[in-house]
Amino acid sequence: MASKMLQFTHLDRSLPDKRPAAERRHDLAEIYQPFSLEHATAQASRCEQCGVPFCQIHCPVANNIPDWLMLAASGRLDEAYALSASTNNFPEICGRICPQDRLCEGHCVLEQSHHGAVTIGAVEKHITDTAWSEGWVKPRRPMAERPQSVGIIGAGPAGLAAADQLRQLGYQVHVYDRHDRAGGLLIYGIPGFKLEKDIVTRRTRLLEDGGVTFHLDFAVGRDASLSDLRRRHDAVLIATGVYKARPLTVPGADLAGVLPALDYLIASNRAGLGDSLADAERWSATGKDVVVVGGGDTAMDCVRTAIRQGARSVKCLYRRDRANMPGSQREVGHAEEEGVEFLWQMAPLALVGTTTVSGVQAVRMHLGIADPSGRQIPTAIEGSDVTIAADLVITALGFDAEDIPTAFGASDLALTRWGTLAVESGTQMTSVEGVFAAGDIARGASLVVWAIKDGRDAADGIDAYLKKQGA
């Protein structure tokens, strides 16, 4: 077992083995095999123990990565888990789905010096999976109970992180969610091959065992107004996420066979969980030529799901080149291995068909001068049109916030110019006293790890507010 650090001089970066693409493209199981103890500790020992840990700086929840890598390298996995869990409520989830190539690993000094980043995500997953299997993960009990109650709207990562933090502080925590299972995006938005659902459900069960009360199939605006919840609780947190799909604005976008990405993923995840679907054929890619429009992580989830559903062909249409795509390069690599074809620098002009889509008319794009953000502006190349056969078109163009003030009957909730809830920096309080917001509904569509960070910050703001109220 490795125990000394700085082993990068003679140990190369190594990931856990992946299941063969020919095998994994037929199921929803996670694609990576578990690390062995020896492999994980050896990879952890590659850490350089930097004086300025850029991995930690670029982690949204400021994980103390060098220290828990050192503990893992020494075989002290129980302590490594405790340290990891002190800054992250769901390290077993982040170890699986965080885009480490864009965050901690992408900024590892070893990566910058061409030695290959420490495999931080895989080691984190090994630490937390070991902690669960050994029974080290326990419900967190408060030192003392507090009489105040907090209502949390949304059982996704931001809401669950806040619930965990507030329950540790002794508050009576109630989580309301419109779905029939807790987990939000973690259950319904992210495919099982990236995050198996029992990983999420065991965490929500742990929160229940720790005293968090869940109210499922509960839609604010239908079963209660925001005002009702404010009367019921001493503080309320809105953590609903953003689910409104940005539309594809080309002729034919209203044809049958054109689906928003998140609706498609929710249907797929429900089917994987054993739920019966109305009009199941509509949501299935089986035997179809599929075109996914978009280049983010959601688009990658869609193309890889379509492969597993048995699509005849799967193509991803993206208007910029590979280097400029917003999604994880690692996910692109997985998709290519599984048989997805990427059509770089192509954009849809129209969807072809009478009542049902039969193809995508697309045009090749030239990357021109940079816009204010530094990204090159794609420009259509005249006369380069092609038509791509498609029985199913999935649009993955990003998400906007739903109209929460109208839905919740709370016109006094202030919005940003992007339609998200305006919050006070440092406290996460909205324009309505005692009402807070966290995650994508305040930040805009982002990563799960940022939602966890926001949920923790909102819990701190709620705690300070309730202590002040009780003073």
Q: Which residues of 302-318 are buried (b: 16+ CB within 10 A; e: fewer)?
A: bbbbbbbbebebbbbbb
Backbone angles phi, psi at 143, to 5 degrees: -65, -35
| Band of residue 3 on the pLDDT scale cut at 50, 70, 90 | low
Q: Please, which residues have CB within 8 angstroms of residue 193's CB and are 6 or more apart in sequence?
A: 24, 27, 28, 29, 30, 31, 304, 308
pLDDT in tens, 176-186: 999 999 999 99
Alpha carbon distance 244, 248 (integer Å) = 13
pLDDT in tens, 409-456: 999 999 999 999 999 999 999 999 999 999 999 999 999 999 999 999
pLDDT in tens, 307-354: 999 999 999 999 999 988 888 889 999 999 999 999 999 999 999 999
pLDDT in tens, 272-299: 999 999 889 999 999 999 999 999 999 9
Alpha carbon distance 136, 139 (integer Å) = 10
Alpha carbon distance 144, 429 (integer Å) = 25
**Across 224-245, average pLDDT:** 96
Predicted local confidence at residue 325, as pLDDT: 87
On whether the CB atoms of residues 162 and 462 are closer than 8 A, the answer is yes
Residue that is written with structure tokens 């409520």 in the block: 89
Alpha carbon distance 217, 99 (integer Å) = 31
pLDDT in tens, 362-403: 999 999 888 888 888 999 999 999 999 999 999 999 999 999
Nearest of 278, 265, 140 to residue 209 by alpha carbon:
140
Q: Please, which residues have CB within 8 angstroms of residue 260's CB and are 6 or more apart in sequence?
A: 245, 394, 395
Domains in the chain, ordered, with CATH? 7-134 (1.10.1060.10), 149-242+401-470 (3.50.50.60), 247-398 (3.50.50.60)
What's the whole-number average pLDDT of the chain?
A: 95
Alpha carbon distance 120, 212 (integer Å) = 31
Q: Which helix (H) or strand (E) holds 150?
A: strand 149-153
